[in-house]
Amino acid sequence: MDTYRQLPVWQKAMELAELVYRRTERFPDHERGGIALQLRQTALAIPYQVAIAPMDSAPKFLRRLRRVSRMLKQLEIEVLLAGRLHCWRAMHLDQLRCQIEELNLLLDAFFQTLAPNGM
């Protein structure tokens, strides 16, 4: 059973990855191997880490969720840099930032249910 597919965190992470892929399709040619590639790699790594987390022991699972949180911060910084480089419109930047924030909130809530005492 693929339980990770039922996790709202994984579903939201996949939506974010898809959005990043769609929004980087029209990046300037000179950025396709640069920031666009980095954005895509980071965005894809997030749902992957969530998907493999249930295979871990409880302590490793929580560590992996912390890693996902750090990767979201990395993605946020990459998104901001792409915005500064004028790789996409302001509305796309806002949409991505909103998705990242939503996933962060969902991840925090998920983490709190698993480790309510801040384990």
If you ran DSSP here, which 8-state letter would residue 116 be given? T
For residue 118, count other CB atoms closer than 10 A to its CB. Answer: 6
| Cβ-count burial 8-27 (b if 16+ within 10 Å, e if not) | ebbbbbbebbebbeebbeeb
Intervals of the chain under pLDDT 70: 1-2, 118-119
Question: What is the residue whose two structure tokens read 């993605």?
Answer: 75
Claim: this prediction has a pTM higher than 0.85: yes
Q: Looking at domain 3-114, what is its CATH homologous superfamily?
A: 23S rRNA-intervening sequence (1.20.1440.60)
